[in-house]
Amino acid sequence: MAYSSKEIWIPCDSQAQDLSSTSESTPLAVKSGSNDIARGLICGVQIKAAVARAGNSTVDFRVYSDSAKTLLLYDVTFDLHTANVGTTVHDADILATPIPVFATPYFTITPDDATSTVFTATLFVKALA
């Protein structure tokens, strides 16, 4: 059997969280078609805010190895202030080196202000053979 070098992307669900505090959100499993992703290569994330963030507001996005947040796998800070990202209030981070996961990863979102906002995150994940 020949090895195929074709990349296969997992279509991850966009997941929304309505946050109104500066506390880290409840961990959410990364999903595809409402099913947990069993394994893959995390290649990046896109995050959107439903409304513009105040001042120089930032949002921390973290991916953990499990729902208990045993191991931090990925941590990035987004500046979702409209002066920095335009009127669409979204940003993305693409990794130069993907992070392999062999069990369902979980992510959290932590805004730095308590303005009530719905954040939507979509992870970019490639399949593992």
Q: What is the pLDDT of residues 27-78, one digit of tens each?
A: 999 999 999 999 999 999 999 888 766 666 788 999 999 999 999 999 999 8
Per-residue pLDDT, 87: 56
- 3-class secondary-structure state, position 18: strand
Amino acid at 94: I
Q: What is the pLDDT of residues 70-123, one digit of tens each?
A: 999 999 998 876 655 555 678 889 999 999 999 999 999 998 877 778 889 999
Per-residue pLDDT, 85: 53
- 3-class secondary-structure state, position 83: helix
Question: pTM value?
Answer: 0.87
Which whole-number Å values give the CA distances from 127 to 12, 37, 40, 54, 92, in the listed order?
A: 11, 10, 5, 37, 20
User: Structurally, what CATH architecture does the domain formed by 12-126 represent?
Assistant: Sandwich (2.60)
The domains of the chain are located at 12-126
Per-residue pLDDT, 35: 96
Per-residue pLDDT, 15: 94
Across residues 7-27, what is the average pLDDT?
Answer: 90
